A and B are shown apart, each in its own frame.
Chain A
Amino acid sequence: MSTSPDPGFQVRLYRQPVPRFWWARRRSYLLFILRELSSLAVGWFIANLLVLVYAVGQGDSAYQRFLDYSANPFVIAVNLVALAFVVLHAVTFFQAVPQTTVVRLRGRRVPAGLLAAPIFGGWLVVSAFLIWLVVLA
């Protein structure tokens, strides 16, 4: 009996398909896709800011037009959705910092919590200052 493989024998591999909605099958995949999408919201706010700066440069009437446009309920709704995405963007970005950055103090790796805490703290302080500056002051 020959032990050599049949020359006509070919392994017929089964290629496992990746479902179109693979990202909907797992919470972590869905969160990842939302995080990727959040970059669109960041872009939206940057464009908004540039338009605001341009309007301010153009004078009173252009600035007033920008304010009227911003008061449109549809624009407010879009901005609220974009804000939610930007918060997701910031939180996931800050959470990733300890995993991507290794800081050593006296030869020991600084624990993840200690690395992330000042970033979240700084974010809170800056946000509180901006709310005071724009809304309260």
Chain B
Amino acid sequence: MEDITLRVARYRPEQESKPTFDEYEVPLREDWAVLDGLNYVKDQLDGTLSYRWSCRMGICGSCGMTVNGEPVLTCAAFLTDFAPGPVRIEPLRNFPVVRDLVIEMTDFMHKLGRVKPWIIEDPQAPPEGEHGEYLQTPEEMEEYHQYSMCINCMLCYSACPVYGLDQSFVGPAAIALAQRYNLDSRDDGNRQRLTVLSEPDGVWGCTFVGECTKACPKGVDPAGAIQRYKVTAATEAAKSLLLPRAAGA
């Protein structure tokens, strides 16, 4: 069987101050994704290689890496698409590297929490259904459904040059997820999220490069979510300027 070369970024902080590349020959099987190639390296060639993965089916969001310069889920990128190789595999860009292909994601987790990505109930409007549930029409679900597909894989942060240059930017996925709840008819948290989203590091940090949307493996369109929220934030700012009393209501 034919082989393909993987050029894999290695960073072993105990022995080197910046990443180097190691090359491995792996079988070029038609049904193998880049992740299968890495698993072959780990199992057969070099057990010291570190990387994250879990589900192998594009839903856990763990195996995002930079392959030939592009941020991709390695479980969804087939080796044959990179033939004859070599395939350059690096950690996701714009994040600090812990080891080899493993990035440090605390910053993203912190930002995700700040936008409160959960349903915030309105205490004045309790659930209306017969069994105390919130009712929602298919049209109401359609409003936010696209944004709910986010799997927190951080490919959009890796593709975003704004985040690369200024880490204080809240970033594409967190804003898209804030919109996922803002547009949900059961949610009443818009005002709480507004303070985070409308600050300079919120939606206004985005210069609409649009690469987040191209990188997204789930079709979420964070760039669209951010531009739409700019309209909301600007409307709210105008309202609070013109009608200071009504704005807080």
Residues of A within 8 A of B (CB): 11-16, 18, 22-23, 25-26, 28-29, 32, 36, 96, 99-102, 107
Interchain CA distance A12-B11 in the complex, whole Å: 10
Chain B residues with Cβ under 8 A from A101's Cβ? 228
Q: With contacts A12-B13, A18-B165, A107-B139 known, is A28 near B93, CB below 8 A?
A: no
Q: Is the CB of B94 within 8 A of A28?
A: no
In the complex, the number of residue pairs spanning A and B with C-beta atoms less than 8 Å apart equals: 61
Q: Is the CB of B161 within 8 A of A16?
A: no
Q: Is the CB of A14 within 8 A of B207?
A: no
- Quick one: CB contact mask for B200-231 with A, threshold 8 Å, 1 for yes? 00000001111101100000010110011011
Chain A residues with Cβ under 8 A from B164's Cβ? 18, 22
Chain B residues with Cβ under 8 A from A23's Cβ? 161
Residues of B within 8 A of A (CB): 11, 13, 17-19, 69, 91, 93-98, 104, 139, 161, 164-165, 207-211, 213-214, 221, 223-224, 227-228, 230-231
| Residue from A11, A16, A28 within 8 A of B211 (CB atoms) | A28
Chain B residues with Cβ under 8 A from A11's Cβ? 13, 98, 104
Q: Is the CB of A16 within 8 A of B95?
A: yes
Q: With contacts A14-B19, A16-B96 known, is A96 near B214, CB below 8 A?
A: no
Residue of B nearest to A96 (CB): B208
8 contacts between A and B (CB under 8 A): A13-B96, A16-B95, A28-B214, A29-B161, A29-B211, A96-B208, A96-B227, A102-B228
Q: Is the CB of B97 within 8 A of A99?
A: no
Q: With contacts A14-B13, A36-B207, A107-B139 known, is A99 near B224, CB below 8 A?
A: yes
Q: Is the CB of A16 within 8 A of B208?
A: no
Chain B residues with Cβ under 8 A from A14's Cβ? 11, 13, 17-19, 96-97
Interchain CA distance A125-B18 in the complex, whole Å: 57
Residue of A nearest to B138 (CB): A107
Chain B residues with Cβ under 8 A from A16's Cβ? 91, 93-97
Residue of B nearest to A25 (CB): B69
Q: Is the CB of A22 within 8 A of B221?
A: no
Chain B residues with Cβ under 8 A from A96's Cβ? 208, 210, 227
Chain A residues with Cβ under 8 A from B209's Cβ? 28-29, 32
Residue of B nearest to A107 (CB): B139
Interchain CA distance A23-B13 in the complex, whole Å: 29
